[in-house]
Structure 1
Amino acid sequence: MEIRSITSARNEKVKRWRKLGTRKGREEYRSMLVEGEKLLREAMDANLDIRAILISEEGTGVLERFPELGEVPVYCLYPSIFTGLVDTQSPQGIAAEVSIPRHHTPYIPAHRAQVLLLDAIQDPGNLGAILRTAEAAGIRNIWLGTGTVDPYNPKVVRSAMGSLFRARLHQGDLLKVIAELKALGFQVVGTDPRAEQVHFDVPVPERAALLLGNEGRGVSPELQAMTDERLRIPMPGEVESLNVSVTAGILLYEWVRQVRKTEV
């Protein structure tokens, strides 16, 4: 495996990788940077195209654990250049440019199915945690509405811990998406702190779409008006609301409990 050295921050490759730190750059190249051995392995297992390997001097030894990289170009960067490109303090001396997944089929109906609709989730950590929780709960089809943070933001990539690579992510106008889902027989479930029903008492529909909203304002009124069912999570304590990623975990795992109960 040939390793090419880069010592100048003005190198064209470095300029390209620096652009991948922005949403515009990721969209231009259809690439993102992943940092560390675990995320590189997850990207490879998801069959993403590994376009380049970036290492610092301490990352040379890590390469020995990836013999299947074959002819993927490897670049050894001057330490200050490498640390300037990565977003974490300890990325194990290795990062990679990998392709952004493409998903052409938004949804294939099944007898029992659940999808997740996210309205303007803005915090990268929240989105990453939701993606990871959704995969754990068996939900892969996820729609990201207008105003949602770029799912390939480095902070989302890290917090999703590989679930991002396996999710079927779609981006679009949720007003249109909900109309299309309803035409397929889906019922849309939303959250509302003033709802009469608590989530324990609402049966999960055969085809269900869970709608979660922005951290500050919640679900937009236009989308809320399209919900078929509204529920709330009971909170005996003196708090007004829960973090959206916590809300996602509570509701998705109530769905898991109900589905498991019917299958036993």
Structure 2
Amino acid sequence: MHKQISSIHNPFIKDLSQLKEKSRIRKKTQTFLIEGLREISLAIAGGYTIKTILVDFSKINQTEIDSLLTTSISEFEVIEISNNVYEKLAIRETTEGILAVANSKNLALKSIEFKTENPLILVAEAPEKPGNIGALLRTADAAGIDAVFIANPKTDLYNPNIIRSSVGCLFTTTIATGTTSEIISFLKEKNINIYSAALTASVEYQTIDFKKPSAIIVGTEATGLTDEWLENTTSNIIIPMRGAIDSMNVSVSAAIILFEAVRQRNS
């Protein structure tokens, strides 16, 4: 028999609502909310510790919960919640009726260990929009690269909108955060070439040899990269534009360059 919560005024539910809304609470408690069966499954596959599962059984059945229990390395409590409690905590309108409370991971650079001596890394400097961050993580997952670094992050990576827009790739991608200076120092220490997507003093991206250890650096569409990257770059790279505009969405630009790097490495 599961513990049951039917009131949105329950203190635990109020705490979880704060966890959903406030980055400060997520950082203080080192926990965050995950919504959706696929996302929770990917978090478990990515080695995240699940503390509690909350289930609206009007939307999901016990068999699907049991499948999670068999894959998780940690034991977790299952709490049955009413539909109105679920709707208070969920951010998606169409979802399977399941939420999880998970422990966040240390995203420090020093915790990064590459499985290869020839890594391919994406670095995004100061991305703000959760949708863009999620799309970058999906791109990284699709390309099968070794890591994503977020320089000078403006947004807490466990923001529910990043989890949603990344469709769980947040959990399956090796991620680290740090200042621009820290990431540049890390890349130089590891002898990883730095290729900065920039409009000035640039060569076309497809002329670069990405077969060696490489980091592809992208900035925001509005402001581009800070001078610190341009002063420490191995080479500035550009995607030639054939139309009337001179920039694309950051995740599109990253995808074009990353898949060229992957193509070279596989040829």
Judge same fold: TM > 0.5, yes or no: yes
**Match of residue 89 from structure 2:** 85
- Structure 2: runs of 5 or more not aligned: none
**Match of residue 25 from structure 1:** 25
**Is it true that 1:129 corresponds to 2:135 in the alignment?**
yes
- Structure 1: runs of 5 or more not aligned: none
Query: Is the contact between residue 141 and residue 167 of structure 1 (CA under 8 Å) also seen in structure 2?
Result: yes
**Is it true that 1:225 corresponds to 2:231 in the alignment?**
yes
Calculate the TM-score normalised by the size of structure 1: 0.90
Say which SS state the counterpart of residue 214 (structure 1) adopts. Answer: coil
**Match of residue 45 from structure 1:** 45
C-alpha separation between the residues in 1 aligned to 2:6 and 2:202? 63
Describe the shift of the 1:216–1:12 C-alpha distance in structure 2 as closer, same or farther (beyond 3 A). Answer: same
**Match of residue 246 from structure 2:** 240
**Is it true that 1:140 corresponds to 2:139 in the alignment?**
no
Describe the shift of the 1:156–1:112 C-alpha distance in structure 2 as closer, same or farther (beyond 3 A). Answer: same
The structure 2 residue matched to 1:191, chosen from 188, 197, 210, is 197
C-alpha separation between the residues in 2 aligned to 1:34 and 1:196? 41
**Match of residue 6 from structure 2:** 7
| C-alpha RMSD over aligned residues | 2.0
C-alpha separation between the residues in 2 aligned to 1:84 and 1:203? 50
C-alpha separation between the residues in 2 aligned to 1:108 and 1:69? 30
One-letter amino acid of the structure 2 residue matched with residue 33 of structure 1: L
Query: Is the contact between residue 121 and residue 127 of structure 1 (CA under 8 Å) also seen in structure 2?
Result: yes
Describe the shift of the 1:72–1:3 C-alpha distance in structure 2 as closer, same or farther (beyond 3 A). Answer: same
Calculate the TM-score normalised by the size of structure 2: 0.89
C-alpha separation between the residues in 1 aligned to 2:197 and 2:16? 40
1:239-258 superposed matches below 5 A:
239-258=245-264
C-alpha separation between the residues in 2 aligned to 1:57 and 1:190? 49
